[in-house]
Amino acid sequence: MRWRPEKSYLSPQTDKFLLLVLLSLFFLIVFTALVFGAEVEPLKQASSQTPWWVWPLVLFVVTFLLGIVAVLGGVGGGVLFVPIVGGFFPFHLDFVRGAGLLVALSGALAAGPGLLKKGMADLRLALPIALIASSCAIVGAMVGLALPTNIVQTALGITILGIVLIMLMAKKSEYPEVKKADALSTALGIHGIYHEASTGDDIPWKIHRTPQGLATFILVGFMAGMFGLGAGWANVPVLNLMMGAPLKVSVATSKFLLSITDTSAAWIYINNGAVLPMVVAPSIIGIMLGSIVGVRILAKTKPAAIRYIVIFMLLFAGSRALLKGLGIWK
Amino acid sequence: MAGKMKATEEQLAYAKILDIGMKLGLLMLIITFIIYLLGILSPHIPVDDLPKYWGLSVHKYLEHTGIHPGWAWLSMIGRGDFLNFIGIAFLAGVTVVCYIAIFPIFIRKKDSVYTILALLEVLVLVLAASGILRAGGH
């Protein structure tokens, strides 16, 4: 059966559901910031009237919604979690980053099995990348924990906004044209066929620019570890735009990749004490439950819808992180 | 269906262990978190005092609470808050188990490149988990 790219659109049911998720997330964050946004002074007499349990509860709800959106965008949740929680909650960025990695990891663990079984995530594509990215994530995590917070916050914002620009400027890439697989990907046996559920087509794929892509993952892994973001924010563009993997294969493999990259960086944060159970536990539970819901939706969505969701969330989160790091929006 | 993607043997094996590990880890985390919230085991840091500490940098947090980094949390799992680290560590360790599981498949298939890749990845993850690598404070 011949296939060709279709004009992308959202099904009415998915459209309404996604809109509901985004609006809920937006209003929840704004409401929380307005009502409970009093700055908590550490180690002074508790002057905040906010009961301690409010923040973990809001965290649970926010991360559940993030879990749904993160699967659809292939960005692991960490890239949304860190700037949003770091910007609107009273937790120090060290703990937010530690939690962010564990959140991204958990979302990937929840989504990974289904994506691997369906053949949407490709193990042979992921493994070489994972080795490079996870090694560099360790280095990034150690550097990130050593740097002053405002520097990390500012750099975080710039990074996220940079990714938004790249995604906005990139051409449509649901099915990139790869004329010929390069020698490295051929030698590694990186190619496949996946079944596109929305169109009913079987889509063969191969990749190119493999050496360049692998080299890029050095930087991706380092930044993922440093910012506690996970790595999905860069995995998808590199896999899709640089290496030419179809968008859904890129999104699915990216999600799976997070489970490996984030594991190495997360252990650095755990072993350096930057993990607070009252922050981590509700976040992980929330995002894992959200991710399970997100996987069920992924196969039924159109590729273009995924990109729009990611762009919107990243723009919001990145702006906040940058302005906070610069001391403009405290 | 002709040309339909079929997941490879190692992919299915990885997925199966990942699925079981994820569910077990999530279950552990939920149970230990409930124990923590209910106060069944006394936490090292009382929950009412948490707002005093969660705004501090990790360096100051460790300093003020007397918590030691690394695998020292194992000696504190009798505390309600540190009990949660069991689930956290389990979730962070699932990937290592998955790699170990697919390692013999690659060997059997005589896929030397991916055998080496899997072995190297296990070494990287074990190094990260070992607690040997410590970051400087800020």
Examine residue A87 and state whether it is found in any structural domain, yes or no.
yes
pLDDT of residue A194: 76
Residue A106: its H or E element = helix A93-117
Residues forming beta bridges with residue A191, ordered by sequence position:
A206
Lowest-confidence region among A8-17, A299-308, B44-53: A8-17
pLDDT tens per residue, range A219-251: 889 988 988 877 777 788 889 888 999 888 888
Distance from CA of A65 to the nearest CA of B (A): 18
* Residue indicated by tokens 């193990």: A123
Average pLDDT for residues A261-272, to the nearest whole number?
92
**B89 contacts in A (CB within 8 Å)?**
270
Alpha-carbon distance of B131 to A271, in angstroms, equals 5
Residue type, B103: F
A294 versus B63: the higher-pLDDT residue is B63
pLDDT tens per residue, range A66-101: 888 777 766 667 778 887 888 788 999 899 999 999
Examine residue A48 and state whether it is found in any structural domain, yes or no.
no
Chain B residues 77-116 with a CB less than 8 Å from chain A: 81-82, 84-85, 87-89, 91-96, 102, 113-114
SS3 B35: helix
| Spatial contact of A261 and A132, defined as CB atoms under 8 Å apart | no
CA B87 to chain centre: 7
pLDDT of residue A85: 87
pLDDT of residue A207: 92
Residue A119 above 50 pLDDT? yes
Alpha-carbon distance of A279 to B31, in angstroms, equals 16
pLDDT of residue A9: 39
Q: Which two tokens stand for residue A152?
A: 């990390």
Cβ distance of A272 and B135 shorter than 8 Å? yes
The ipTM assigned to this model is 0.91
Residues contacting A299, CB < 8 A, separation 6+? A118, A120, A197, A198
pLDDT of residue B40: 92
pLDDT of residue A46: 40
SS3 A193: strand
pLDDT tens per residue, range A185-222: 999 989 888 777 778 888 888 899 999 999 999 988 99
Examine residue A6 and state whether it is found in any structural domain, yes or no.
no
Examine residue A99 and state whether it is found in any structural domain, yes or no.
yes
Alpha-carbon distance of B53 to A46, in angstroms, equals 11
CA A150 to chain centre: 22
Nearest CA in chain A to B37: A278
Examine residue A43 and state whether it is found in any structural domain, yes or no.
no
Alpha-carbon distance of A105 to A101, in angstroms, equals 6
Measured over the CA atoms of residue B48, residue B49, residue B55 and residue B58, the dihedral's sign is negative
- Model confidence band, residue A168 (pLDDT cutoffs 50, 70, 90): confident
Q: Which two tokens stand for residue A254?
A: 């990216």
Alpha-carbon distance of A271 to B92, in angstroms, equals 12
| Spatial contact of A93 and A149, defined as CB atoms under 8 Å apart | yes
Q: Which domain holds residue A93?
A: 12-34+53-325
- Model confidence band, residue A316 (pLDDT cutoffs 50, 70, 90): confident
Phi-psi region of A24 (alpha: psi -120 to 50; beta: other; left: phi over 0): alpha
pLDDT of residue A292: 79
Distances (CA, A) of B99 to A76, A125, A127, B117: 21, 15, 10, 10
Examine residue A267 and state whether it is found in any structural domain, yes or no.
yes
Distance from CA of A118 to the nearest CA of B (A): 7
Cβ distance of A288 and B26 shorter than 8 Å? yes
- Model confidence band, residue A48 (pLDDT cutoffs 50, 70, 90): low
Mean model confidence pLDDT for chain A: 80
User: How many domains does chain A contain in total?
Assistant: 1
For residues A245-268, b (16+ Cβ closer than 10 Å) or e, as one string?
A: bbbbbbbbbbbbbbbbbbbbbbbb
- Model confidence band, residue A306 (pLDDT cutoffs 50, 70, 90): low
Alpha-carbon distance of B6 to A328, in angstroms, equals 52
CA B34 to chain centre: 19
pLDDT of residue A47: 42
pLDDT of residue A27: 56
Alpha-carbon distance of A61 to A88, in angstroms, equals 14
Q: Which two tokens stand for residue A41?
A: 């002074």
Nearest by CB to B7, from A117, A135, A188: name it: A117
Tell me the percentage of chain A whose pLDDT exceeds 70.
80
pLDDT of residue A76: 62
Measured over the CA atoms of residue A294, residue A295, residue A300 and residue A305, the dihedral's sign is positive
Examine residue A44 and state whether it is found in any structural domain, yes or no.
no
| Spatial contact of A122 and A249, defined as CB atoms under 8 Å apart | yes
Residue A309 above 80 pLDDT? no
pLDDT of residue A265: 92
Residue A272 above 80 pLDDT? yes
| Spatial contact of A318 and A153, defined as CB atoms under 8 Å apart | no
Distance from CA of B130 to the nearest CA of A (A): 8
Positions of chain B with pLDDT lower than 50, given as ranges: 1-4
**A221 contacts in B (CB within 8 Å)?**
none
Residue A137 above 70 pLDDT? yes
Instruction: Give the closest residue to A124 by CA, choosing from B33, B22, B52, B7.
Output: B7
The residue ranges of DSSP E strands in chain A, in sequence order, are 191-196, 201-206
Cβ distance of B91 and A102 shorter than 8 Å? yes
Count of Cβ atoms closer than 10 Å to residue A318 Cβ: 24
Nearest CA in chain A to B83: A277
Q: With the CA atoms of B60, B66, B72 and B76 taken in that order, what torsion angle do they form, in degrees rounded to the nearest 10? A: -130
Alpha-carbon distance of A203 to B5, in angstroms, equals 9
pLDDT of residue A13: 58
* Residue indicated by tokens 């350096």: A272
| Spatial contact of A319 and A215, defined as CB atoms under 8 Å apart | no
Cβ distance of A285 and B29 shorter than 8 Å? yes
Q: Report domain extents, chain B.
A: 9-130
- Model confidence band, residue A131 (pLDDT cutoffs 50, 70, 90): very high
Examine residue A178 and state whether it is found in any structural domain, yes or no.
yes
Residues contacting A307, CB < 8 A, separation 6+? A73, A167, A247
Report the number of secondary-structure helices (H) and strands (E) in chain B.
5, 0
Q: Are strands A191-196 and A201-206 parallel, antiparallel or unpaired?
A: antiparallel
Cβ distance of A202 and B5 shorter than 8 Å? yes
Residue A320 above 80 pLDDT? yes
pTM as predicted: 0.82
Q: Is B38 on the interface with A (CB under 8 A)?
A: no
Determine the longest span between alpha carbons in chain A, in angstroms. Answer: 70
